[in-house]
Amino acid sequence: MSSTVGHPQVQAAAAFARERLGARGDEEVAAVGVVLGSGLGHVADVVEENGGKAVEYSAMPHFPTSSVEGHKGRLVAGRVGGARVVLMQGRVHRYEGYSAAQVVFPVRVLHALGVRRLLVTNAAGGLGDGFVAGDLMLIEDHLNLTGDNPLVGANDARFGARFPDLSDAYAARLRELAVKVATERSIALRRGVYAGLLGPSYETPAEIRMLKTLGAHAVGMSTVHEVIAANHLGMEVLGISCITNLAAGISPVKLSHDEVKETATRVGQVFSGLVLQLIPTLA
Ligand code: HPA
């Protein structure tokens, strides 16, 4: 791991965030954390409007900042239904040129702020049978096809074990909770496997046929490294994809970031409603 994103840097960023987010001393900020993907940042605005506090990534020591349109870069802490939560409004990606260790730096900061249950969200292309743009998918498992891993390099035992187990990477316990909450709210939830690719080009139709053969239902350019790092840290993870478009070769139209943002905005209300319901359940 690069020395610029090691344990001391995580501690420094967490200390800065704790102060800006109004936590006293080394008191935990929240036990529940949320990563909000492309166009899905609305929940953080709701939390901020209800008395939450925010800090820009660009103000924080060692924190990577995103260049992607539609991604803000802030940590927001506050309460939802009485439960304390800290949200990442925007994330960075491996395709922006950050190393995998830099990509997961914010997740390590969340852990240092007290987060033990992490909800990870993303915008993704859909390739599961019957999927349509606008579907929400509970991530049951992932395929890390980025060719990279945030744990490459010397292992820092303060973060976790050299060879972390990923057999419950998306915790069965939390998936059951999510299905229960979605059912109670009459929110339709697909389930499936998320394939994480490097990007930034979208896939070819041949690659999508390959991914289908491999058992994937959704494809995107984020999430898998964060989930590996979160499991390394011993966090329980829940993942939800917003299917913003049908994948290449399935979609009748060309893929574009505009379509991704449009669908994310359209589904935003339902998506935000689900996330706001889930937060107190995870506490
Ligand atoms: N492919 C990869 N990443 C994505 C897609 C897609 O179709 N849609 C949103 N993110």
Tokens of 269: 């209300």
Percentage of the chain lying above the pLDDT 70 cut: 98
Ligand 1: residue whose CA is nearest its atom 10: 124
Q: In terms of pLDDT, which residue wins out, 41 or 114? A: 114
pLDDT tens sequence across 138-191 = 999 999 999 999 999 999 999 999 999 999 999 999 999 999 999 999 999 999
Q: What is the mean pLDDT of residues 20-42?
A: 89
122 is catalytic: no
Residue 118: phi and psi, rounded to 5, are -120, 125
For residue 1, the model assigns a pLDDT of 43
* Ligand 1 site-directed mutation target among 127, 244, 246, 259, most atoms within 8 Å of CB: 244
Ligand 1: residue whose CA is nearest its atom 9: 124
Q: How many A from CA of 218 to the centre of ligand 1?
A: 8
Ligand 1 atom nearest the C-alpha of 125 is: 7
Query: Which position among 28, 31, 48, 257 bears the catalytic label?
Result: 257
pLDDT of 25 > 80? The answer is: no
Ligand 1: residue whose CA is nearest its atom 2: 220
Q: Does residue 179 contact residue 138 with C-beta atoms inside 8 Å?
A: yes
Tokens of 173: 């316990």
3-state secondary structure of 42: helix
The distance of Cα 261 from the centroid of its chain, to the nearest Å, equals: 16
pLDDT tens sequence across 198-227 = 999 999 999 999 999 999 999 999 999 999
For residue 149, the model assigns a pLDDT of 98
66 is catalytic: no
Measured CA to CA, the distance from residue 41 to residue 88 in angstroms comes to 8
pLDDT classification of 40: cutoffs 50, 70, 90: confident
Query: Which position among 62, 88, 96, 259 bears the catalytic label?
Result: 96
Tokens of 45: 């605005």
pLDDT classification of 27: cutoffs 50, 70, 90: confident
Measured CA to CA, the distance from residue 109 to residue 112 in angstroms comes to 5
Q: Picking from 57-71, 87-101, 113-127, 242-256, which range would have the lowest pLDDT averaged per residue? A: 57-71
Residue 114, phi-psi category: left (phi > 0), alpha (psi -120 to 50), beta (remainder): left
88 is catalytic: no
For residue 70, the model assigns a pLDDT of 59
The distance of Cα 151 from the centroid of its chain, to the nearest Å, equals: 17
The distance of Cα 91 from the centroid of its chain, to the nearest Å, equals: 8
Q: How many A from CA of 221 to the centre of ligand 1?
A: 7
93 is catalytic: yes
Structural domain boundaries of the chain? Answer: 8-282
Ligand 1: residue whose CA is nearest its atom 6: 125
CATH class of 8-282: alpha beta
3-state secondary structure of 140: strand
For residue 50, the model assigns a pLDDT of 93
* Ligand 1 site-directed mutation target among 121, 139, 202, most atoms within 8 Å of CB: 202
For residue 130, the model assigns a pLDDT of 96
Q: What is the mean pLDDT of residues 239-258?
A: 93
Measured CA to CA, the distance from residue 14 to residue 26 in angstroms comes to 9
